[in-house]
Structure 1
Amino acid sequence: MRFSKPLTVTLVSAALLALPFSGAALADTRTPAPTMTITPQEPTMTITTAQPPHSDRDKTQDRRNKKNSLAVSVSPGRVRAGDSYTVTINAKGVSSGTATVTSPEGKTYRVALSGGQATKTLALPAKTKPGSKTVSVKVGNKVATASFTVVGGKQQQRDDHGRGHDGK
């Protein structure tokens, strides 16, 4: 009896100490997962329809978004390199403030809004390459863009002798 208690404690301690190691030894070895081949598919167009609001908070946010909108347009839609174009800003829900217009060249201009509207006339550099360009406008936390097309540059008018107007 004298040795049975210490012997029991020793055996139980050894069993508890060895238990975590034996679980790892008995566990299944990890097998490699099967590989998956992904083949690209043709691009598809996804159309998302507006979901009805689920709470009063969503309804309030939707009403605010409808009241506070930002629309931007560029005229004319086709601009010859070297000519000017006009950016028209219409910010509903904003009576005054400032709009930041960013040109396709990356230049920014600040424009004062009056009654939620403003216009800014920008000059397109003569060396602008033809193609589609985008102007962006930011009012508060809203951003809107408008695109236009740049066509070839101005051609110098020539007189009857094949010289430009400046006589050269």
Structure 2
Amino acid sequence: MTIASAALLALPLSGAAFADGARPQPAATAKAPQPAHSNPAAPTVPQDQLAKGYDARKVALKVSVDPERVRAGDSYDVTIVAKGLHSGTATVTSPEGKSYRVALSGGKATKTLTAPATAKPGSKTVTVKVGNKTATATFDVVPPRPQRDDRHRNHDGK
């Protein structure tokens, strides 16, 4: 083997070593920094509302309960109106402390809850939170209907 042929054999091997080092390497990706003052309690606002100039300070939250007198064991409706907010999520917290997420549509939603049959009579409060806004509504729980005892009647209704 001549010196020239040995050089030709060595050249591709050393060329491959040089070629590996010259290949472009993928660049590291960086995430945009998150603002330090972000508020996790701020309402989630769809992009279309951001484009329309949505302002959380302009949202007016109103909550009501129907009926205002609820018998223990009966259901009642919690109505939510978030004026200034087209869509989003409301969190309804019952007087017993249970929380429910409700989707707003057109800034409105209704959640049906039930007063426990064992609820003590008196004033109760439902709390609703939308973003950083909180509103409450009160209602009265009254005793359950007395149980009717039909054991002393005959089967023919007499």
**TM-score, reference length from structure 2:** 0.59
Counterparts of 2:70 and 2:153 in 1: how far apart (Å)?
Answer: 26
Counterparts of 2:99 and 2:71 in 1: how far apart (Å)?
Answer: 21
Counterparts of 2:143 and 2:64 in 1: how far apart (Å)?
Answer: 21
In structure 2, do the counterparts of structure 1 residues 128 and 94 end up closer, same or farther at CA, with 3 Å as the change threshold?
same
Counterparts of 2:153 and 2:92 in 1: how far apart (Å)?
Answer: 41
4+ runs deviating over 4 angstroms: none
- Name the residue aligned to 1:123: 114
3-state SS of 1:132 partner: strand
Deviation of the 1:141 alpha carbon: 0.3
- Name the residue aligned to 1:111: 102
In structure 2, do the counterparts of structure 1 residues 149 and 69 end up closer, same or farther at CA, with 3 Å as the change threshold?
same
- Name the residue aligned to 1:144: 135
Q: Structure 2 unaligned runs (5+)? A: 1-54
Deviation of the 1:120 alpha carbon: 0.3
Could you say what the CA RMSD is over the residues aligned between the two structures, in angstroms? Answer: 1.9
Deviation of the 1:133 alpha carbon: 0.2
**TM-score, reference length from structure 1:** 0.56
Deviation of the 1:68 alpha carbon: 1.1
Counterparts of 2:76 and 2:68 in 1: how far apart (Å)?
Answer: 9
Q: Structure 1 unaligned runs (5+)? A: 1-62, 164-168
Indicate conservation of the 8 Å contact 1:126/1:153, yes or no: yes
Indicate conservation of the 8 Å contact 1:82/1:154, yes or no: no
Letter in 2 for 1:89: I
- Name the residue aligned to 1:46: none
Counterparts of 1:84 and 1:150 in 2: how far apart (Å)?
Answer: 11
Whichever of the two has the greater Rg, that structure is 1
Counterparts of 1:151 and 1:131 in 2: how far apart (Å)?
Answer: 7
Q: Which has the higher contact order (CA 8 A, sep 6+)?
A: 2
Deviations 1:43-70 (A, max 9, x none): xxxxxxxxxxxxxxxxxxxx974x4100
Indicate conservation of the 8 Å contact 1:98/1:111, yes or no: yes
